[in-house]
Structure 1
Amino acid sequence: MRSTKKILASVLAVCMLASTSVVTGFAASSSDNTGAVVNNYALAARELGTKYGYEGDDLGAVYSPEKTVFKLWSPTATEVTLNRYATGSDSEKGAADLGKIQMEKLMNGNEWTGVWTATVKGDIVNTYYTYTVTANAPYGSVKQTAETQDIYSVATGVNGKRSMVCDLSKTNPKDWNKDKHVLLDKQTDSQVWEIHVKDFSYDKSSGVSDKNRGKYLAFTETGTTLNGEGNMSTCIDYLKQLGITTVQINPFYDFQSVNEAGSDDQFNWGYDPQNYNVPEGSYSSNPYDGNVRVEECKAMIKALHDAGISVVMDVVYNHTYSCDKDDSCFQASVPFYYHRVKPDGTFSNGSGCGNEVSSDFLMTRKYIIDSCMYWINEYHIDGFRFDLMGLIDTETMNLLRDEMDKVDPRLTIWGEGWTGGTSVYEKTTCTGAAFYPAIQKNASKLSERVAFFNDKIRDGIKGSVFDIKEKGFIAGNASNAKNVGSGFLANTTINNGWKALSPAQTVSYAACHDNATLYDQITASFTGEEYGKRNESGVQLSKMASAILNTSQGATFYLAGDEMARTKYGDTNSYKSSPEINKIDWNNISKYADLVSYYQGMIKIKQSFTPFNTATNDYASAFNFFGKNLSGMANSFTYVVTNNVEGEWNKVAVMHNGGGIEAKITLGDTSVSEWVVVADKDRAGLSKITTVKGSKFTVPANSSIVAVDKESFEKAALKDNRGKVTVNFVSGNGTKLAEPIVIQGEIGKGYQVSPCIEIENTYVIDRVIGSETGVYSDTPQEVTYVYKNYVPESIEKYGDVNGDGITNIRDVTALQKLLASGAAIDNKFDFNYDGRVDVRDASMLQKYLGGYGVGKGTVEVNYYYNDAQGNQKNLTPSVTFTGRVGEDFKTDEYKVIGYDLDKSKLPEITEGKFQYGSKIVVNYYYAAGSLDVKLHLKHTSEEWAPWLWVWGADLEGKDKGNYSGGTWPGKAATMNADTGWYDYNFTYNGAGSYNVIVSNNKATQTKDYKYYVENEMWIIIDDSKLDTGDYLTFYTENPEVNPNAPIAKTLSY
């Protein structure tokens, strides 16, 4: 690479010398003298590095106005042709074939380097090229010819199939020479916000111009505000106010899964690399011109740097989109070298995506390091997040760390310390060193500045990512406490599956792009609300998650929008879902302003207290934990942390109560006589909320308290620099209808508040006292929403019974006279919507005039069955709901296996209008039903027989009975030759629902699909998602017969 100079020469020399002794020590045979299987494919491929390892930094197309030199490392090739084109595709205007050149072998004296080269004289900038490579596999009989783009491409045409000759100096945005890395003194100072380029600004509420929404250039727009209204900051300005130090951007190298020439509503996360050193074209304003994507990507990075925000690039060096010669430049250039191959000649698939990269091979390792250093030097990237880092060997990661340190040791690396499947690799690397995958348990073999995502604290906080309905510690699941407890000290003192060398080696988080958003999991497991709807309990749990992360050591990481209750509407694998599912809805910064304020305040607390943000183990003993063992079950944690840094707080008490009731906590540290609370269930920051004398605290359910000893609080006098707005919700007589909400923000910046959506809609806003939009100031402000009772439309329109223009007591008298007369009465006077006009309507009108609320109606739904003794019982608890009088309601039957709706006793009404006065009661009756269940399964592409593990759940959702033999992995479904579907049938026992796991005889196991109640379902296996564990879709009708077949519903317990 032109930017890396020759920094790798010494590293590669070591690899070549060491691997010489390794390779020559083995014969290319099927077994060695121990009888262990020898991987001839790996041995032959590794020998290529030994014999033809290339140290140069000039692979690819090296451009100058005088000439362009092309070099391709392909030591198994027998012929290579350089193909030149005028455009990046044949469909463009001006497309032309500029000719072909036979490339020659590059010699070093009498020795071939393994490199093919060609030189084109003159200035050919902005033209395009490919290579046609005829090559053999290092081992075996495969010989292939393929046309491919350059592995070392720095720019490409549309969709990345042709490389471009690029003058990188002409792709720099204005003042690029002044742009510098934005680096933190400690990796653990990082407050990371994970974002996708398109998610960031796709929604119009972002305030970004239409032409730039979803693009690189969205990041360059400053001064953006919510819906462009000029008040609340969005995008980069919002991140600065929130306290974010670092953005981690989902893959923005060139990936394959989006058609760059297609419509803007395409979406993919981008974990399918095509050209590692080229920015993705769909995020640019012109994907056809290779220069544009480069310049606009640099402009994005510069805009973030100008805002003081560090940029971490999400990289996927563990696998490529394809390992087919027609879709992979790596396989086309040197077949079966850049990917790990198993002894049987098939590709190892530790990624779950069909292949994995051979990081332990000399030239693959060189490529990974070259590529990273290229992004650092050419694009000023500040760090990397390694996807499935467990597929990269520790030696490669440490070598990369060494090279990055030569630029600046503050450049960051973190990654996923796991794999996506079983990886097959050699026992040693190209240096002869033992191969250790960069997984969590091998943390000690990595630099402590190569960090791991801490999945333990993630699952501890919110519940398992593999079950959106599992509760975490914050929702009262005491069994998840140990995963939180080990995370307080960044997994440095407790070996909870793995142990970090120091806090610098840990990234603490509760959610990321994978799986459910934090708020969605809270919704599914705890509140039971519809996705995307505000729930005060859910907001409180999210606040608690932030409190845990920011009172724990390690770098702190958030999925973008966690702090504003981001939803993906329950989609747990949105990698190719629509932008509408994935986008950031910036309206949430107003709807959840108190939650944003809380995250902002907790960030300030962590940034201000060294024991929380330390990169070293120096403060491990400063954490004094009280009560239960950190590794056991618990509903709460309490600890006091002592600090010796001048100018900071001395002692901080932390109390986390995940239980469903308030906790009375007495601190074990009695040396402090008075504490200042800086975070509670509602607010957080550097300012005093209240004081507590002594050591006794009351911590509300599902919340946290952070307190500082009063003496050091006053001495440090840390400035919060935020204004406060309190939002009240009261009735006309002053009665509190909902708890006040406190929002905080940077003084001088805008705020916007909203009504409380949890207040029943039988109240309506009468007036607002104070300003709903304004600017934070030094002086605390208040906004009060005053509500009045909803008045049914019937009274609003027809309450003036006597027609005198006003509604008063005389209208009650007029209606009473009409009723007494016995004359026919217009049904419009049916004020209470019970279907008739009678004295109850006159009474309702009188109550309304007397100031009583008459706008709420109630519906109760019961579900009954008779047990074996003939006793009537509830099949499930009764459901009661309310609504505005006169508005429509609808009830639904309850469905379970074992009972069917008794059609001889159907309810008189199942839907209608809410009535004032008497409660509407709807009764559903059930009789014994069919217990036979038929499941039909079909693949989208593969053919293996699905194995099913099926078990029941009783009417309370508790596990009951097994319907697959009782021995894992259960039983295989049977192919039905007539239908082409696999069939699996069983007979249920009792009543309830059933749960399903599908696997390929234990492999590629799904998550638990729970609480199904259909007697027959058609199940589609999406083979493109096998690696996710979430690849089944359940239909109640055959989707091949009915393309609009309904999705099967499940019970919620």
Structure 2
Amino acid sequence: MFQLSPSPSPSPRLPTTASPTHLLRLPYCRGRPGFPTTPKTRGLSFARFVHLLSSGALGAGVVGINGSTLPRRLRKLTISSCSTQPSVFMGEPSDPQNSIAKVPLHFDVQDSLSYARAHWASRSHIAWDVKDNNSSVYLIASQMANLRVSNDDITGYDMKVQLEQDMCGLPGNVKQKFPHIRSYSAFRIPSSVDAEKLLKCQLAVMCFDAHGKCVNATGLQLPGVLDDLFSYTGPLGAVFSKEAISLHLWAPTAHVVRAYIYDDQFNQDPSECIELKEEIGVWHTRLPISREGCYYVFEVSAYHQSTLKIETCMVNDPYARGISSNGKRTLLVNIDCGSLKPLGWSELANEKPELLSFSDISIYELHIRDFSAMDYTVNPEFRGGYLAFTCEHSAGIDHLRKLSNAGLTHVHLLPSFHFAGVDDDKGKWKYIDEQKLSTLPPDSEEQQAEITAIQDQDGYNWGYNPVLWSVPKGSYASDPSGAHRTIEFRKMIQAVNRSGLRVVLDVVYNHVSASGPQDEFSVLEKVVPGYYLRRNADGYIEHSTCINNTASEHFMMERLIIDDLLSWAVDYKVDGFRFDLMGHIMKSTMVKAKSALQSLSKDQNGVDGSKIYIYGEGWDFGEVAKNGRGVNASQFNISGTGLGSFNDRIRDSILGGSPFGHPLQQGFVTGLSLQPNGHDHGDKSITDAMLAASLDYIQAGLAANLKDFVFTSHLGESIKGSEVLTHDRTPVAYASRPTETVNYVSAHDNETLFDIVSLKTSEKMSLDERCRLNHLATSLIALSQGIPFFHAGDEILRSKSLDRDSYNSGDWFNKLDFTYESNNWGIGLPPKAKNEKNWPLIKPRLANPSFKPQKEHILAAVENFKNLLKIRYSSPLFRLRTANAIQERLRFHNTGPSWIPGVIIMSIEDGHEDQPGIAQLDPVYSFITIIFNARPAEVSFSIPALRKRSLLLHPVQLTSGDGLTRTSSYEPSSGSFVIPRQTTAVFVEARDRNTCSG
């Protein structure tokens, strides 16, 4: 057997046949039509670069076109790729049959090593989608990456081993782990092969016909065998003891790993270079404890399939707990050091706001910079950062306290780990002239032009560009060097908790911002090329999330996710996690993560893991759809796990359409059938039917979207929530427990609630009506079973000037004003890149002064929102803990074909201590009726089932400043109600009649 060289020689160049003629930059868009969230490229400049070689074959890692022969009329190009016949469609991607041309991308054996279509799926088996049983198949290895295919033969190899086809197919455990290759042919690896050494080589499998001619060849995808041989549960990262620091890096395919030690973050020359030792795929070394506070980077030499070379890369530790400014180096920091803990940190677990049940949770989604960047009541040095949350007398903190006092329980912070897109060095940021922009017309293009010109050099980005998951982002710290970010992040958590709110972190484990051996933000691919990121059938990275999908089905990727979550929970005492694109993560990973977090205890870990809530986006699309890569954490698959997922059904039925539909499509609240906006929804019979169908969607959502909840549909049929079907024939309801549903109408993605209501409602509607509809939409969420979720600013009529995707739109469009002076409407047309197609709809609305709320409207909205929270937390009947409790107690009225359009009536019944039947939960109220009236006029009706009740308007509404809502009435003898226009009225039956007296 050959020996591996400890010092690889310079890598050879690609064969000349792999030289592209021209590159074509293709913008990449995540998802499919109707997918409920926007793409999260978040400021990254990327595309699929594609080319055809002069030979007509595909080049390495990309698909493409010969620019010299491309007709000018061909403006669009779509790649259709499968393992057998990739193609390029030129023309309209949505209509391939009518495209101008379809070019098959034929297989060329000379360029076959650019692909990795075979899988070394376990120690004993290679899987390859070849069906010719008459060919001889070989495993080929080159320790120095010298493999070449030419003249139907292979050269440059150090080892060539014939493989025997296993006619029984792949083992069952391989098929289960990798369902997308379950039908591939299986080839046995001889037991004599030293797999551990081979995995450090350039590898290929090749088919030779009876004449010895190479008829097929490809590289190998290695995650299966790496998991088989090198799954590891020991220490990783920098581990501190009293005497020393040990470094551990999992890199089983590496030839050499070195650690360069720097005395500080600025020195160009390392003070020490250490070559690490390897044991079973883990490289390690030991440093004196005096190195604490120094910095290091790893140098990893390994074969990269993406370049067909052995590459030597400088890379941060994936388990970094501290970094230098902009993450140039990893900080040797003991995260448990007492000097990094704010005063009282060790007692914070005992100071956490009370949380008796996950059903008591309500969530307020907030971007760290939005919170204070333009709040002039905050210390200028703290604005836009962690320490703004420690300013006890700021307008923002005062606002959060108001919401907390009304009942709000959790603040969800958008990504706060180290991400690409914002420089940590504030001295390099560029700024707009706010005074100048404020003098421009409300529908001007100039504001967005100035923001766009500096958007990649300012201090703003949502942060969905992960680089290192386990380190706080430096741009939010007053000083990004050293351990300052750690201290300040902890102060933020402590301050928010002390204001009465728990903290949720937005985590983005489904993708990373960069890959490959060259990109400065690439980490995982530099350490173990081809392992952490999910590949397609050709061996190229999947990008369905937006870019560089990760593969949690691989053991060490799953471990990285779970270890990272535990670090945030223990080291930073966060109270929950929201998973971006959770459906791209395996269900088993999510279940293990939940179990690991819930095992944490105050005694052992300083936190109570049983109080940590997990939820996320359970969308099912891309390569993981329909369990394509294993059982994924989609809405339907996680039913019964206790994991929460966003309910897009109630959002779309309340507002109308979907985020990717026509912006004027109306819904229950925005005037569908009742106040048409001029958009062609169809004739009146169609819009009436659409409105009636929305009733079922909303009723299911109000009942926590429980799949087995039985109610009467708009057709008068008794149905389960899972029997109500969406337009694509999937069930509306999917949850098994109330806490598995997160109900919402707005989030950071897409327009704000005020903006979408302003866009979808009739231009003739008054501002007062729009404000009432804004409140009505919020009330449907606030008073639903399950967990209500609100986007920061919903309660202050927040506007982004109709920007549908403000991830990189700067402070100007993302402003939050907690002084209530302005809601940010009419500050210019939103950025062209994401909104230009809607400018003709947006411009007249922004120019119309009647659309802009005044301070009195904002103050009323804040008061109304607080009242909704007070009502929700006035009775446990709004927060029922089990599916059985909801089925027993919750009823809908005004259902069936004779329903009053635009009116939803829901009642919740409690038991009585001295009577048999359902248990008593609420000592104050025995019966509650909620009426949502979206109609533009007062409505009166009788409900026989609600006759002879002792119902009175809820005390919160009786004393509210909403005079119209106070006119809501109930007459007991006939069960009659009178509800004013566009109003949510809550009636309660008190056990003590004095409770509801004015």
Q: Shared fold (TM-score greater than 0.5)? A: yes
Matched, 1:215 2:429: no
Instruction: Provide, for residues 481-528 of structure 1, a one-character-per-residue CA deviation record: whole Å limited to 9, x for no partner.
Output: 332122010110212434101111001111000001000001111154
Q: State yes or no: 1:189 paired with 2:360.
A: yes
Q: Specify the code of the residue in structure 1 equivalent to 2:257.
A: V
The two structures, once aligned, show a CA RMSD in angstroms of: 3.0
Determine the C-alpha separation between the residues in 2 that align with 1:355 and 1:498.
Answer: 31
The residue type equivalent to 2:865 in the other structure is Y
**1:541 positional shift:** 0.6
Name structure 1 gaps, 5 residues minimum: 1-19, 107-111, 227-232, 429-434, 721-1053
Tell me the equivalent position of 1:379. Answer: 572
1:461 corresponds, among 654, 659, 663, to 654
In 2, distance between residues paired with 1:36 and 1:318?
26
- The answer to whether the 8 Å contact 2:968/2:977 transfers is no
Q: Distance in 1 between matches of 2:491 and 2:497?
A: 10
Closer, same or farther: CA 221–542 of 1 in aligned 2, 3 Å: same
Cα distance, 1:303 vs structure 2? 0.6
Aligned counterpart, 1:938: none
> Does residue 330 of structure 1 match 2:524?
yes
2:369 is the alignment partner of 1:174: no
Aligned partners of 2:623 and 2:899: how far apart in 1? 31
Do residues 163 (structure 1) and 330 (structure 2) align?
yes
Work out whether 1:294 is the aligned partner of 2:482: no
Out of 222, 230, 240, the residue aligned to residue 404 of structure 2 is 240
1:854-886 CA distances to partner (integer Å, 9 max, x unpaired)?
A: xxxxxxxxxxxxxxxxxxxxxxxxxxxxxxxxx
Amino acid at match of 1:240: S
CA–CA distance in 2 between the matches of 1:145 and 1:182? Answer: 49
Q: Which of 946, 952, 960 pairs up with 1:670?
A: 946
Equivalent residue number for residue 970 of structure 2: 692
Task: Quote the Cα distance in structure 2 between the aligned partners of 1:50 and 1:701.
Answer: 65
SS of the residue 1:543 aligns to: helix
Q: Distance in 2 between matches of 1:680 and 1:470?
A: 32
The superposition leaves residues 673-710 of structure 1 with CA deviations (integer Å, 9 ceiling, x where unpaired) of 4421127697589x98775322212222322211112x
SS in 1 for 2:551: coil
**CA–CA distance in structure 2, aligned partners of residues 541 and 218 of structure 1:** 33
Q: Secondary structure at the match of 2:486?
A: helix
* CA offsets 1:817-854 (integer angstroms, 9 cap, x no match): xxxxxxxxxxxxxxxxxxxxxxxxxxxxxxxxxxxxxx
| Shift in alpha-carbon separation, 1:665–1:54, aligned structure 2, 3 A | same
Q: Answer yes or no: is the 8 Å Cα contact 2:121–2:224 preserved in 1.
A: no
**Do structure 1's residue 256 and structure 2's residue 420 form an aligned pair?**
yes
Where does structure 2 lack aligned partners over 5 or more consecutive residues? 1-118, 132-166, 170-181, 187-217, 431-457, 601-608, 673-690, 710-720, 723-730, 822-854, 912-920
Contact 2:655 2:668 in 1 (8 A): yes
1:922-941 superposed Cα distances (whole Å, 9 cap, x missing partner): xxxxxxxxxxxxxxxxxxxx
- State the 1:235 CA deviation: 4.5
Partner of 1:638: 905
Contact 1:527/1:537 (<8 A) preserved = no
Amino acid at match of 2:580: D
Counterpart of 2:122 in structure 1 is: 23
Partner of 1:103: 276
The DSSP-based 3-state class of the residue aligned with 1:413 is strand
Question: What residue identity is the alignment partner of 1:300?
Answer: M
CA distance in 2, matches of 1:631, 1:191: 35
For residue 511 of structure 2, what is the aligned residue in structure 1? 319
Cα distance, 1:95 vs. partner? 5.1
Q: Do the aligned partners of 2:969 and 2:978 also contact (CA within 8 Å) in 1?
A: no
Q: Which amino acid aligns with 2:539?
A: G
State how far apart, in whole Å, the 2-side matches of 1:419 and 1:263 are: 38
Q: Which amino acid aligns with 2:971?
A: K
Check conservation: 1:415, 1:453, Cα contact below 8 A.
yes
1:49 paired residue number = 227
Residue from 415, 419, 438 that aligns with 2:616: 415
Q: Distance in 2 between matches of 1:426 and 1:608?
A: 42
More moved, 185-194 vs 503-512: 185-194
Q: Write the distance in 1 (CA, Å) between the matches of 2:553 and 2:251.
A: 18
Distance 1:657-1:175 versus aligned 2 partners, 3 A rule: same
Cα displacement (A) at 1:99: 2.4
| Aligned-pair CA distance for 1:307 | 1.8
Task: Report the equivalent of 2:826.
Answer: none
What percent of counterpart residues are identical? 28
Instruction: Tell me by how many angstroms 1:650 deviates.
Output: 1.0
One-letter amino acid of the counterpart of residue 309, structure 1:
L
Contact 1:173 1:295 in 2 (8 A): yes
Do the aligned partners of 2:120 and 2:126 also contact (CA within 8 Å) in 1? no
Which residue identity is paired with 1:537?
E
User: CA distance change for structure 1 residues 21 and 322 in 2, over 3 Å: closer, same or farther?
Assistant: closer
In 2: Cα distance, 1:630 partner to 1:190 partner: 35
Q: 1:788-826, CA deviations, whole angstroms, 9 ceiling, x for partnerless residues? A: xxxxxxxxxxxxxxxxxxxxxxxxxxxxxxxxxxxxxxx
CA distance 1:41–1:252, change in 2 (3 Å): farther
Q: 1:597 aligns with which of 846, 857, 863?
A: 863
Q: CA deviation at 1:140?
A: 10
Change (3 A) 1:615 1:31: farther
For 1:509, which of 735, 744, 759 is the aligned residue? 744
Pick closer, same or farther for the CA change 1:225–1:425 going to 2, 3 Å: closer
In the alignment, the residues of structure 1 paired with residue 124 and residue 252 of structure 2 have an alpha-carbon distance, to the nearest angstrom, of: 22
Where in structure 2 are the equivalents of 1:564-963 lying within 5 Å?
A: 564-588=796-820, 591=856, 592-617=858-883, 618-629=885-896, 634-644=901-911, 645-678=921-954, 692-694=970-972, 695-709=975-989, 711-712=990-991, 714=993
AA paired with 2:634?
A: I
Bigger share in strand: 1
| Structure 1 Cα separation of the partners of residues 626 and 671 of structure 2 | 42
Aligned-pair CA distance for 1:629: 4.2
Q: Which residue of 2 aligns with 1:309?
A: 501
Shift of 1:340: 0.7
Return the offset for 1:557.
Answer: 0.8
CA distance in 2, matches of 1:28, 1:225: 61
- Distance in 1, matches of 2:124 and 2:557, equals 22
CA spacing shift, 1:283–1:87, aligned 2, 3 Å: same
Q: Check whether the contact 1:472–1:480 (CA below 8 A) recurs between aligned residues.
A: yes
Partner of 2:78: none
Q: CA–CA distance in 2 between the matches of 1:525 and 1:117?
A: 59
CA distance in 2, matches of 1:633, 1:342: 51
Report if aligned partners of 1:481, 1:631 keep a CA contact under 8 Å in 2.
no
Match of 1:443 in 2: 638
Give the letter for the 1:413 counterpart.
Answer: I
Question: For the structure 1 residues 23 and 425, does the alpha-carbon distance in structure 2 shift closer, same or farther, using more than 3 Å as the test?
Answer: farther
- Structure 1 position 23, deviation (Å): 2.7
1:348 aligned residue? 542
SS at 1:453's partner residue? strand
Q: Distance in 2 between matches of 1:425 and 1:77?
A: 35
The higher relative CO (CA closer than 8 Å, separation ≥ 6) is in 2
Q: What letter matches 1:440 in structure 2?
A: Q
Deviation, structure 1 residue 657: 1.7
Pair member with larger Rg: 1
Shift of 1:410: 2.2
Secondary structure of the structure 1 residue equivalent to 2:698: helix
1:41–1:342 Cα contact (<8 Å) kept: no
The code of the aligned residue for 1:593 comes to: L
Give SS of 2:637's match: helix
Give 2:300's aligned amino acid: V
For the 8 Å contact 2:877–2:922, the answer to whether it is kept is no
What one-letter code is carried by the residue in structure 1 that aligns with 2:362?
Answer: Q
Counterpart amino acid of residue 583 in structure 2: G
Q: 1:465 to 1:630 in 2, by over 3 A?
A: farther
Paired amino acid for 2:573: H
Q: Is the 8 A contact 2:417 2:466 kept in 1?
A: yes
Q: Summarize deviations over 1:330-383 as a string: whole Å, max 9, x none.
A: 0000001001111201111230x2221110111011110000011000000111
**What one-letter code is carried by the residue in structure 2 that aligns with 1:438?**
A
